[in-house]
Structure 1
Amino acid sequence: MRTAPLTHTGFRVFLAARLVSLLGSSMAPVALAFAVLDASGSAGDLGVVLAAHMLPLLALLLVGGAVADRFPRRTVLVAANLGSALTQGAVAALLLTGHYSLPAVAGLELLNGALAAFTTPALRGVLPQLVDKSQLRQANSALATTRNLTKILGPGLGGLLVVAAGSGPAIAFDAATYLIAAGLFLRLPLAGTASRAGTVRSDIRLGWQQFAGIRWVWVVTACSCLLNLVLTGTWQVLGPELTRQVSGEATWGFVLSARGAGLLLMSVLLYRLAVRRLLALGQLLSVLVALPLLAIGAQAVAPWLIVTGFASGLGMAAAGISWDTSLQEHVPSHVLSRVASYDDLLSYLAIPIGQLSVGPLAQTFGGFPVITVAGVLTVAVALLPLASRAVRRLPHTAVS
């Protein structure tokens, strides 16, 4: 009988570190938004701060992937989390002392985004070093459950903390979670790896060769890029506005809550459910993310919107867990962070393009037609990877 990943001390430590870090990170956006708006009174300042965090994340992801494969991932995670604790602590200090300054806060968030570019690829490569391949699906499901719980609870807790104590203490709490996570990452039983010959640039180039050389990886990544281009901006920009027109503002909140419940339920189900073709199942269920767009486009009543929001969460969780597990099962560990960084970069780049384009499209053609077309395209793009035999036939290690 296979043992559960939670029997491994290293995985329990890793899960605890992620829980602490994710809780702080889910609370921080609420606190930061209110802090900047209260201190500056300008939505423009908030846009600058958010962009300052995102730009270095995109610019340095490939470097972060190369570093995570070149040096011990435990060292990368500890250093990055300590740096994030310092930057967020400095932001909190500025707010608590009443010395808010847009250049200072934006500069600190710039550093924070740069550190995240090193954290993300390292995290993707750690799990295969902690558990057996047969336990990766369960481990990813447990991590997804933790992540989804913090998404549900974190923003509300962040808002309550802002109301009770102010934005400064809320940001300080986020800084403390980075510090605690760094201490937990330090305890991970990961074997060190020697720095290889060559340069970071050559490592990045080799990472691209590995990424492009694995057919199912680049097929799914290319389709995910298209999916983010079509789906994310439409959902974030048109979703709340069109839902308000049809059913009122409260309905959008219920839709988001239902989606969170779907994410959580599928995370729990996939901890128990073993299938032979996990990646194919995840791609098939990802079609469910189109349902809320189609329902909004059809101007469906609130109960249908909520149901489709729940179904969307099921599909998102299945796609995410199956993808992470497949990467960790089949991509060699010594290039895993670099391959994952190319996946992340292409996915992230598509999001702002979609966000910027959906507004002009809605003004030209109308919001409801645009979101309907986006829903249809989402179905097509979600199913497209299944046309590849490499995707359809990829085995799941736990049941192969």
Structure 2
Amino acid sequence: MTDVAVPVFRLPGFRRLLTGRSLSFLATALVPIALTLAVINATGSAGDLGLVLAAELVPQLALLPVGGVLADRFPAQRVAFAADLLRGVAQLAIGTELLLGFVRITDLVVLSAVTGVGIAFGTPTMSPLVSAVVPGDARLAANGHLGVARGIAMVAGPGIAGVLVVTVGAGWSFIVTGVLFGAAAATLRGVRTPPRDASAPPASFFRELADGWREVRARSWFWTNLVGHAVANLAAGALMTLGPLIAVRSLGGEVVWVVIYQAGMAGLVVGALVAPRLRFGRPLVATSVCGGLFALPLLAFAVPVAPWAAAVAYGVGMLGVGTLNTVWQTTMQRLFPPTALARADSYDALLSFAARPLGLAVAAPVAGLIGVTTPLIALAVLVVVVHLAILALPDVRSITGPRRSR
């Protein structure tokens, strides 16, 4: 590792990557609100809405490992290009159908499933792309900038989607989303990743899938952290279900929840922003501590505390998440071989994508049986215990970080 950091914005490949991924993040953030409003306006059926949303999630869970193999087997920029293009075509098709004045739930289910396939194929390409275009001493800064872009998109996307639906209609909202995905795909034409070693004999698809799983299992620091990520996402899903209920019943209403939620999103952005400016001699120790911070908003809502204290707790918890994501991605990109990086990324995303919806689904029924306090406290304890257990692993404590970069 060199002592002199590479200024990340002087890298043309990274400028293109940041622009394209920012457009893709924003387009992704526009979809759920626009899709929800489109289904509600079309049928008003909660069952239809659940079916359409599930149609996007199921392919993600089923095909993420497949996407990881593809992104390791073929140039990552080509896989990402195809994934963005696929999602863009699906959004344009939805928008066209809405503009023509007819909506078939069957069509929305199919096109949502196509979108889910695009997400499954595109998600594992992020780390290989960063690893390919950014030198090791600048990756922490690069991941920080990408994390800020993702956080801003998460904050701004739902509001932009709502404004588009109200002002120009849901159809044009999907057209705009499709164009954003197309623009994101176009930026990848200038991004180059190293070719695969031609001297190595090509393995079968299933062999590469199994090899990726072996790479994950061989690294205790990796798979134990994946368990921690799954627990945190399970807790986050539960909080997204119970938090608004508690805010409305005990903290002052819907506006209070909006303020608390925005404080959390601001914390997420700040965490990604400050992570490259901090020194982490033991990066996985830092990520474990940051992950454990998510217990704070769980406890704040369990009590519950005053609205301002809940906002601070949620902001600090999400600041930890933003810092964790940036440092974790950088560490993973450094310690995994480039030929297996996308498959590792896919398993990380798979657990996260599966655990959060589970938290969303089970929180309300459980709270209906035993109240909201017990499950939130139990999840807070689980978050802390799991991250303390990760800290106890010698493999986690022995990993040192790269030198500081700008």
The correspondence of residues 10-89 of structure 1 with structure 2, limited to 5 A, is 10-89=13-92
Tell me whether 1:165 sits opposite 2:183 in the alignment. no
Shift of 1:377: 1.9
Please tell me whether residue 275 in structure 1 is matched to residue 275 in structure 2. Answer: no
* Structure 2 residue 277 is matched with structure 1 residue 240: no
Percent identical among aligned pairs is 32
Is the aligned partner of 1:209 residue 2:214?
A: yes
Give the CA deviation at 1:355.
2.8
Matches within 5 A, 1:145-184: 145-184=148-187
AA paired with 2:340? V
Structure 1 position 299, deviation (Å): 1.7
Match of 1:2, SS? Answer: coil
DSSP 3-state at the match of 1:186: helix
**1:241 shift after superposition:** 0.6
TM-score by length of 2: 0.95
Cα offsets for 1:268-315 (capped at 9, x unmatched): 111322321122112112222111110111121111111111111211
Q: Count matched residues.
A: 399
Deviations 1:143-194 (A, max 9, x none): 0011111112221111111111011111111100111111101110223336
Q: Contact 2:16–2:191 (CA<8 Å) still a contact in 1?
A: yes
Question: Does the alignment pair 1:352 with 2:364?
Answer: no
Tell me which moved more, 343-352 or 88-97: 343-352
The 2-side partners of 1:24 and 1:233 are apart by 22
Query: What residue is the counterpart of 1:189 in the other structure?
Result: 192
Which residue pairs with 1:334 in the alignment? 339
Could you tell me how far apart the structure 2 residues matched to 1:351 and 1:334 are?
A: 28
For 2:106 and 2:123, the matched residues in 1 are separated by 26
Q: Does 1:368 align with 2:373?
A: yes
| Residue in structure 2 matched with residue 112 of structure 1 by the alignment | 115
Cα distance, 1:353 vs. partner?
3.0
The residue aligned with 1:321 is 326
Q: Is the 8 A contact 2:275 2:327 kept in 1?
A: no
Gap runs ≥5 in structure 2:
none
Tell me if structure 2 keeps the 8 A contact 1:223–1:384.
Answer: no
Q: Which runs of 4+ in 1 moved over 6 A?
A: none
Alpha-carbon distance between aligned partners in 2 of 1:116 and 1:51, rounded to the nearest angstrom: 14
- Whether the 8 Å contact between 1:212 and 1:218 is mirrored in structure 2 is yes
CA distance in structure 2 between the partners assigned to 1:332 and 1:192 by the alignment: 14
1:224 aligns with 2:229: yes
Aligned-partner residue type, residue 56 of structure 1: P
8 Å Cα contact 1:49-1:105 kept in structure 2: yes
Report matched runs for 1:254-265 at 5 Å.
Answer: 254-265=259-270
Please state whether the residue corresponding to 1:398 is helix, strand or coil: coil
3-state SS in 2 of match to 1:98: coil
Closer, same or farther: CA 151–346 of 1 in aligned 2, 3 Å: closer
SS of 1:197's equivalent in the other structure is coil
Q: What TM-score comes out, normalization by structure 1 length?
A: 0.96
User: Residues of 2 paired with 1:69 and 1:200: CA distance?
Assistant: 11
- The C-alpha deviation readout for 1:188-237, integer Å capped at 9, x for no partner, is 022333685221111000001100001110111122223333x0332121
CA distance in 2, matches of 1:290, 1:392: 22
Query: Cα deviation per residue 1:23-51 (whole Å; 9 max; x = unaligned)?
Result: 12212221111111111221221111110
Q: Which of 330, 334, 348 pairs up with 1:343?
A: 348
The residue aligned with 2:305 is 300
When residues 151 and 353 of structure 1 are mapped into structure 2, their CA distance, relative to the original with a 3 A threshold, is closer
Q: C-alpha displacement at 1:8, in angstroms?
A: 0.3
Contact between 1:68 and 1:122, CA under 8 Å: does it hold in 2? Answer: yes
Alpha-carbon distance in structure 2 between the residues aligned to 1:324 and 1:396: 12
Q: In structure 2, what is the Cα distance between the partners aligned to 1:192 and 1:16?
A: 23
Looking at structure 2, the residues matched to 235 and 161 of structure 1 have their Cα atoms a distance apart, in angstroms, of 28
Alignment deviations for residues 304-363 of structure 1 (CA, whole Å, 9 cap, x no partner)? 111111111211111111111111011000000111112222232223333333223212
Match of 2:129 among 123, 126, 130: 126
The 1-side partners of 2:372 and 2:100 are apart by 45
* Letter of the structure 1 residue corresponding to residue 150 of structure 2: R
Task: Please provide the CA RMSD for this pair.
Answer: 1.6
